[in-house]
Amino acid sequence: MRPNTATPTGPSTSSTGSTSSASPSSPSTGTSIFDELESQVRSYCRSWPATFTTAAGSTLQDEDGRSYLDFFAGAGALNYGHNHPVLLDALIDYLRSGGIVHALDMHTVPKREFLTTFRDRILVPRDLDYKVMFPGPTGTNSVESALKLARKVTGRQHILSFTNAFHGMTLGALSVTGNSMKRNGAGLPLTNSSKIPYDDYFSGATEDFLWLERVLSDSGSGVDKPAAIIVESVQGEGGLSAARPEWLRALSELCRAHGILLILDDVQAGCGRTGEFFSFEESGIVPDIVCLSKSISGFGLSMALTLIRPELDQWEPGEHNGTFRGQNTSFVTATAALNQFWADDAFAEGVRVRAAELHDGLTQIASGYDGAVVKGRGFLTGIKFPDASAASKIAAAAYERGLLVETSGPEDEVLKTMPALTISSDELRSGVDIIAAATAEVLGAPAIHENTAHEGTENPTDHREDTK
Ligand SMILES: Cc1ncc(COP(=O)(O)O)c(C=O)c1O
């Protein structure tokens, strides 16, 4: 989860000792301009106060020449690392050619090439039939469009979402988000949505969809039939809980049975992060609407898609539009990324192998601390510590050692690793070693017993062997 408070969790000075008291007359080297002029709302820079300059792959440099290993990947917007040379060349060639950059939703060659490539590389091989909507450039734009379309098509208002869900910061997306601090920021009642328990919310003690099945079938329940249910396969911001495939299938069947649309928010877990292009592929479900953003451009450029089952594409022309839907630079890098990484299964197979290495490394660390458990799936995985304050302290200690790693969960209780999918095994090992050292610094030396983290695992499916 993005840092919530105004209190820095990381070091308060940069490696040169630049502080908020640095002279305002020397903005080129100090950090004072950020403190002076930038809103209090800024957050990541409080944990990582370096001033960054260049980046390549999984390494960033700051202006003091210090290197950082990246286990954050732009919160999932940099699945192929920083400045991937193939994508960079495509972008530079396009810009140098005088290609049009901004074009609203007008026809352009890059948009044609993106749509053609997306159809041929992603949709057709997966036997998926979706119309592609460009809803505006961010994840929350995609979520807003999905909620709006679901309401329009069904004529119903209510939306169900899950405990600890995160879907974005605009009002509609916030209304289906769990985090109370983010919700309170809305400043008005967030209505027309209710929360239902995510997979394993009751630790297996209650049958998963007991309440929902019952109230939907009972005309006296007083619960309005929802237009849609929106779900993440892995809760990236809400604590890295991962839904089991059978749970997703049961959810999908329940939606079908009751005429409720299923919206799959793949903004964070999509684009290969779980070892398959869409995070729901393993379950075999076909959602009615899919939200994609973050790494769809492949290069960290803003871009979002809303995928819509064709019969649901009932928009009037222009009924949902926006100025920034035709970012041709994003189309260019997105097409290059699809061609580079998704022409066959080799890349995804490599991701699955290295995600297993990451998982093993984290399991080794967790096994040294009572009650610590590994959570998540694929390259969206981390460690939950029983002391909720530990993860933030470990992230801060890791930063001091040159690793960017963040936290997730309502209390930031999970140390969240999200490396680029292109990271090497050696880089992964270095990052895991830094986390081990940072954990030992914060929590003390690990207990000497190997691979016992599974004993303390709150949900064995959180790190399923077949989906690492
Ligand atoms: C699952 C999910 N949905 C939506 C969003 C919102 O995306 P954006 O920050 O681009 O608006 C996020 C952001 O982290 C997310 O993780």
At 159-176, the pLDDT tens digits run 999 999 999 999 999 999
What is the spatial distance between Cα 206 and Cα 208, in angstroms, rounded to a whole number?
6
Residue 232 CB–ligand 1 contact under 6 Å: yes
Q: For residue 46, how many other CB atoms are within 10 A of its CB?
A: 18
**Residue 449 pLDDT level (bands cut at 50, 70, 90):** low
SS3 385: coil
- Adjacent-strand bridge partners of 196: 162
Residue 380 CB–ligand 1 contact under 6 Å: no
Residues 35-47 have pLDDT tens digits of 999 999 999 999 9
Looking at residue 232, its amino acid is: E
Phi-psi region of 276 (alpha: psi -120 to 50; beta: other; left: phi over 0): beta
Residue whose CB lies within 8 A of the most ligand 1 atoms, among 235, 267, 295, 324, for a mutation test: 267
Q: For residue 7, how many other CB atoms are within 10 A of its CB?
A: 9
Looking at residue 444, its amino acid is: G
pLDDT of residue 12: 35
pLDDT of residue 150: 98
Task: Name the residue at shortest CA distance from atom 4 of ligand 1.
Answer: 167
Residue 114 CB–ligand 1 contact under 6 Å: no
Residue 300 CB–ligand 1 contact under 6 Å: no
What is the spatial distance between Cα 289 and Cα 228, in angstroms, rounded to a whole number?
10
Q: How large is the average pLDDT for residues 2-29?
A: 41
What is the spatial distance between Cα 364 and Cα 387, in angstroms, rounded to a whole number?
18
SS3 293: coil
* Domains contained in the chain, CATH given: 45-76+346-467 (3.90.1150.10), 86-341 (3.40.640.10)
Residue 166 CB–ligand 1 contact under 6 Å: yes
Q: How large is the average pLDDT for residues 391-420?
A: 98
What is the spatial distance between Cα 51 and Cα 47, in angstroms, rounded to a whole number?
12
Residue whose CB lies within 8 A of the most ligand 1 atoms, among 78, 162, 167, 418, for a mutation test: 167
> What 8-state DSSP symbol labels residue 447?
P
Q: Say if residues 14 and 34 touch (Cβ distance below 8 Å).
A: no
Instruction: Report CA(238)–ligand 1 centroid distance (Å).
Output: 11
Residue 406 CB–ligand 1 contact under 6 Å: no
pLDDT at residue 285 is higher than 60: yes
Residue 233 CB–ligand 1 contact under 6 Å: no
Residue 267 CB–ligand 1 contact under 6 Å: yes
Q: How large is the average pLDDT for residues 61-76?
A: 98
- Signed CA dihedral, 362, 363, 367, 371: sign only: positive
- Adjacent-strand bridge partners of 407: 415
Q: Which two tokens stand for residue 302?
A: 């803003």
Closest CA to 173 of 268, 105, 314, 73: 268
Q: Which helix (H) or strand (E) holds 338?
A: helix 328-341
What is the spatial distance between Cα 159 and Cα 172, in angstroms, rounded to a whole number?
10
Residue 199 CB–ligand 1 contact under 6 Å: no
Residue whose CB lies within 8 A of the most ligand 1 atoms, among 2, 44, 293, for a mutation test: 293
Residue 293 CB–ligand 1 contact under 6 Å: yes
Closest CA to 208 of 174, 252, 169: 252
**Residue 453 pLDDT level (bands cut at 50, 70, 90):** very low
Mean pLDDT of the chain: 91
Q: Which two tokens stand for residue 428?
A: 């992964």
Residue 303 CB–ligand 1 contact under 6 Å: no
Closest CA to 225 of 234, 235, 215: 215
pLDDT of residue 207: 77
Residue 167 CB–ligand 1 contact under 6 Å: yes
Instruction: Report CA(417)–ligand 1 centroid distance (Å).
Output: 17
Closest CA to 350 of 340, 336, 365: 340
Residue 236 CB–ligand 1 contact under 6 Å: yes
138 CA: nearest ligand 1 atom: 10
Looking at residue 295, its amino acid is: S
What is the spatial distance between Cα 196 and Cα 184, in angstroms, rounded to a whole number?
19
Task: Determine the Cα angle at 23 with ends 19 and 24, to 5°.
Answer: 105
Residue whose CB lies within 8 A of the most ligand 1 atoms, among 4, 177, 271, 294, for a mutation test: 294
Q: Which helix (H) or strand (E) holds 50?
A: none
DSSP states of 122-189 as a string?
IIGGGT---EEE---SSHHHHHHHHHHHHHHHH----EEEETT----SSHHHHHT---HHHHHTT-S-
pLDDT at residue 461 is higher than 50: no
**Residue 206 pLDDT level (bands cut at 50, 70, 90):** confident
pLDDT at residue 326 is higher than 70: yes
Query: What's the order of all strands across the beta sheet hosting 193-196?
Result: 131-133, 305-308, 289-292, 261-265, 228-231, 159-162, 193-196
Q: For residue 220, how many other CB atoms are within 10 A of its CB?
A: 6
Q: What percent of the chain has pLDDT over 90?
A: 85
Residue 238 CB–ligand 1 contact under 6 Å: no
Instruction: Report CA(456)–ligand 1 centroid distance (Å).
Output: 30
SS3 86: helix
